[in-house]
Structure 1
Amino acid sequence: MRPFGLLSIALVVVVCQILYGQESASPDRLRQMASEYYRWRNQNYPVASSEEGLHSWDDSLTDYSERAIGARRQHVNELLSQVKAMPTETWGRDDRIDWVLFRAQLEREAFWGRILKFEETNPQTYVNECSTAIFSLLKKEYAPPRSRALAATARLKQMPALLEQGKQNLKKPVRLYAQLAIESARSIDSLFGASLMTLAKDLSPEERQELVRSRDAALAALHGFADWLEQGLRGMATFSPMGEENYNYLLKNVYLLPLNAEQVAMLGEAELARYQGLEALLPEPGLADPDTIPRDQQAFLAAYESRESEMIQFLREKALVTLPPYLGAFHIRQLPEAFKPTNPGGFMNPPGLYDKDGGGFYFIPTYNPTSRNFYIRAAIEDPRPILGHEGIPGHFLQLSIAKHLQNEIRREHRDGVFIEGWALYTEEMLMRTGLYPENSAAQGQILRLSRYRAARIGVDVNLHTGKWTFSQAVNYFMEAGGLDREAAEGE
């Protein structure tokens, strides 16, 4: 063949490669890659999918074998490399924003696998998988009780093997995480007992017997896992900070912040001083330290529900925010004991990304009139400040709106900085616009909540960069943030 012919063929090949590369690096290709990734993630993390309202794999648990963990990490790293390599200079603004957001989502997963390695360091990974595996089947009546009970049986059967995988993987368990996992595992019986058995009413005698047998084996395995962890506590590292370099990488590449650890800590110190000053202006310091007692658990729960409509009416009268017509009901429920060690103040569940209904929940701790836990005492005295943060106009409203975004990448992008920032903003907005009277207990709560969250910035930065020990962080939370020890350690 003549040299000219060879050159022509080579040019054709190069041009085709360039054209293919441009096509494969288009905004449409980015969105296709994102959709494929979300489908892959959902299938690989079936319990998380159930939690988000996608019930295609309700009979499965996550595979935590060494092979599966390695394969997942490799897939994320390869996809991240492809996304980073995409030439986006000629893309439109919105397309480039989508590229940045999807890259940050992948950076987060890659960082967790490369730096934090929770499968190797955090025993809560395995206990939480078990508790959420059942809890996600109970929260909403998305299917008949019998279908959910059979799915629970299938998951329960897999738990002993999952916990054995955990024992194999936990090469460097952290004592703090282990202690929380032990407490959670030993508090899980009521979730697997009375709560779970509400689904069993339509089972045949044989199916019910199989459910009970599987449940008992799972509970025995969880208690055994807790015992195994307890035996090794002395040899575990107290805490394992990621270090300042990794923390700065996280701030820049995952949270997309133009700040380093030192600058974030400075912001926290400034906000802490502001809220300490505002709290000091209260005529009665005890206003920030709630101490009112309702009659019982039912009155405790009812107080939350009854104040929600009052707050919604206030928002409408003041035209502060628009409440979309698709906004679902926000229910108040008792916090299962299995989740209390890591959620001393309870937690909020917005409607999942794939939920067909728009309802959500706030799970609050069990009523205890003698508790010194700040969250419980605050909820007892006046639930509105915490309700405003967790419900409407806080997390529940914002995440319900986010769920309805048409852009898949943005709908999937749950940015913790924005989520918490919005809820904190709405807390102070309600105070400044007159929902809480001047010098009232509710106003005192808002200032104390803001004060401790400002203190949490310093705790987060100094704990994870390794400048503070866990004990130092807890003491700072108590002294600067005004929290009790139980709430401080849980945070």
Structure 2
Amino acid sequence: MALVLAWGGAGVAAASDHAALIGLYDEFRSLTQPAIKSGVPDYTPLAMERQLDALEALKARLEAIDDSRWPVSERADYMLVLAEMRGLEFQHRVLQPWKRDPAYYSVTNLGFGPKLHNAFDVPQLPIAAPAVVQLKASLEAAPAILAQARLNLTDPHRDLAMLAIIQKDVEINVFSRLAEQARLHHPELVQPALAAAEASREFRDWLKEIQADLPVYAGVGDANYDWYLKYVLLFPYSADEIRIIGQREHQRTTGWLAMEAHRNRNLERVEPVGSREAFDREREEADNELLAFLRDNQIVTVPDYLRHNPDEGPYILPSERDPARKGLFEPPLDLHFFFQAEFRDPRPLRAHNLPGHAFDHLEWMRDERPIRGKPRLFFVSGVRSEGWAFYLEELILQMGMLDGRPTGREIDYVLAAKRAARLEPELNMHANRWTYAQAKDALVKGTPRWMEADDAIAAFDIELYLRQPGYGIGYYMGKVELEKLLSERFMDQRDDFVLGRFHDEFRASGALPISLIRWEMTGRDDEVREMRQAPPIPQPRP
């Protein structure tokens, strides 16, 4: 391809081909990682100021690239890079987790939402000698990380502090248990683990002291939220539109649940499985049946590498990694919402997780494209990922896989209603109308079955939606976007439409926002044109 020259803001000629975009993107990816000093990521004000300055220089170089004559696939790559750069800008100007969110300083990688770079896994001991050296260094850095955190957190908010307190309660127990295990296997880890536990305890106690005086609400505000949806997530609906769609979808799914429950009113209720052996057996059967259904009915191409994984096990929430908690299958069973569903009939949730998230991950691992093959930052492909996974739940219902499985059909509707019930809590938290507690209460009340006030899934969900805008609305609204694309392709092709081909083309685009996939598949750029030029962030924080 011939080079087209465009002049950037600095007055330097910029190469305007796809290779130049790839090089710029690699620079950007390096920029997103903070400097590490003795195991401590540098989130100090000066470091963050320098990162933002460097980001603005990279954005100027990106904007100097003229992609107008590129193929649509390469122009979609350009928009992907632009979206991630805007995501980092939004981190600096609005979210500012290093200043506002004490839970951001999770030194362990136990699964709690957004977290600092360099969070580490806590292994089961014993471990090999090189891993002992690495773990010892990570433990020794923990007190310094949390000491820096107290200096960086100049604008913490009450609900975020509350979530960090819960997080640190778990980390204290994890580090304490690690110290106990280390006495038997690796004595050199005992003191670093105890020091990490003590630092976590001091950080937690500091948060408890200041929590009551912190600002109540922690949302980004209506205007910032809409900016983030449109210009970072490249998502074509506003918060007001999401609210209307969500209310209607909640009514639709609960209405269909009422009909399904009436249809099944004389059937015996199915109880959850009560042992790990029964769980594993039911999941393997469901996985194999599901993949065979998709393959035999030519719904989507199922590659050989997509298969049941016997080592996957139940999904464990961060709070359930607390060693002080009893085991999942220890009686009496204490099942959160998703286990209530999966332990009765795993098919709806396995549709979400096996040809949904697992397929995405396995395919991404094989994606060698220099931009699309990278893991997405700032939730840029999150709506696509969650939308595809949730879409599959309803697909197996509509395509007949659950015919003859009345429990499975009811579960499918319960899951859909719960997904719809998530929208209002996220929208109202980020509009600063609801606190975390109010949002959690609304989610519990909007879920028609199996969710109580203390449900671990309700707590985990609302934490994610407060700390990562777009997460809670992504499931339902991603499905809405995908269904819109499905409708457009069917109406374009009519008798020539092939469902399996549609799904394969959709997946071939990779980890992209659906608006970009739509552009590639249909040539329609009406959504993307509006997303190309972004106004300034409406309400940047000081």
User: Which interval holds the TM-score relative to the shorter structure?
Assistant: 0.7 to 0.9
Q: Is the 8 A contact 1:272 1:455 kept in 2?
A: yes
Match of 1:441 in 2: 407
| Structure-2 change in CA distance of 1:480 and 1:337 (3 Å) | closer
Match of 2:419 in 1: 453
Match of 2:460 in 1: 490
Letter in 2 for 1:489: A
| Structure-2 change in CA distance of 1:211 and 1:372 (3 Å) | closer
Match of 1:404 in 2: 366
| Structure-2 change in CA distance of 1:219 and 1:333 (3 Å) | farther
Runs of 5+ consecutive residues of structure 2 not aligned to the other structure: 112-117, 462-542
Match of 1:350 in 2: none
Choose 415-424 or 61-70, whichever is displaced more: 61-70
Secondary structure at 1:232's aligned position in 2? helix
Q: Is the 8 A contact 1:116 1:242 kept in 2?
A: yes
| TM-superposed deviation, 1:379 | 2.8
Match of 1:167 in 2: 150
| Structure-2 change in CA distance of 1:64 and 1:298 (3 Å) | farther
Task: Report the count of equivalent residues.
Answer: 435
| TM-superposed deviation, 1:467 | 3.6
TM-score, L = length of structure 1: 0.77
Q: Is the 8 A contact 2:274 2:329 kept in 1?
A: no
Q: Specify which of 181, 191, 209 is matched with residue 187 of structure 2.
A: 209
- 1:83-102 mapped onto 2 (5 Å cutoff): 83-102=62-81
Q: Is the 8 A contact 1:135 1:191 kept in 2?
A: no
Match of 2:141 in 1: 158
Which whole-Å deviations, capped at 9, do the CAs of 1:348-372 have from their partners, x for residues lacking one?
xxxxxxxxxxxxxxxx967664436
Q: Is the 8 A contact 2:179 2:190 kept in 1?
A: no
Q: Quick one: distance in 2 between partners of 1:448 and 1:183?
A: 29
Q: Quick one: distance in 2 between partners of 1:285 and 1:278?
A: 11
| TM-superposed deviation, 1:240 | 1.7
**Are 1:265 and 2:243 matched, yes or no?**
yes
Secondary structure at 1:186's aligned position in 2? helix
Which whole-Å deviations, capped at 9, do the CAs of 1:230-272 have from their partners, x for residues lacking one?
1222112232221111011101111112222111222212222
Q: Is the 8 A contact 1:242 1:465 kept in 2?
A: yes
Q: Is the 8 A contact 1:307 1:384 kept in 2?
A: yes
- 1:5-20 mapped onto 2 (5 Å cutoff): none
Q: Specify which of 105, 108, 112 is matched with residue 91 of structure 2.
A: 112
Choose 76-85 or 191-200, whichever is displaced more: 191-200
Identity of aligned residues (%): 24
Q: Quick one: distance in 1 between partners of 2:409 and 2:432?
A: 35
Match of 1:236 in 2: 214
| TM-superposed deviation, 1:119 | 0.9
Letter in 2 for 1:429: L
Which whole-Å deviations, capped at 9, do the CAs of 1:377-420 have from their partners, x for residues lacking one?
22322233222212x11111123213322322222335011101
Q: Is the 8 A contact 1:34 1:409 kept in 2?
A: yes
- 1:186-335 mapped onto 2 (5 Å cutoff): 186-189=169-172, 191-192=174-175, 208-284=186-262, 292-297=271-276, 299-300=278-279, 303-305=282-284, 307-327=286-306, 330=309, 331-333=311-313
Match of 1:28 in 2: 19
Letter in 2 for 1:254: V
Match of 1:44 in 2: 34
Secondary structure at 1:282's aligned position in 2? helix
Which whole-Å deviations, capped at 9, do the CAs of 1:437-472 have from their partners, x for residues lacking one?
356222111111111111212222222122434344
Letter in 1 for 2:238: N
Which whole-Å deviations, capped at 9, do the CAs of 1:310-333 have from their partners, x for residues lacking one?
332333333322222344764324
Q: Is the 8 A contact 1:25 1:87 kept in 2?
A: yes
TM-score, L = length of structure 2: 0.71
Q: Quick one: distance in 2 between partners of 1:387 and 1:26?
A: 42
**Are 1:380 and 2:340 matched, yes or no?**
no
**Are 1:462 and 2:440 matched, yes or no?**
no
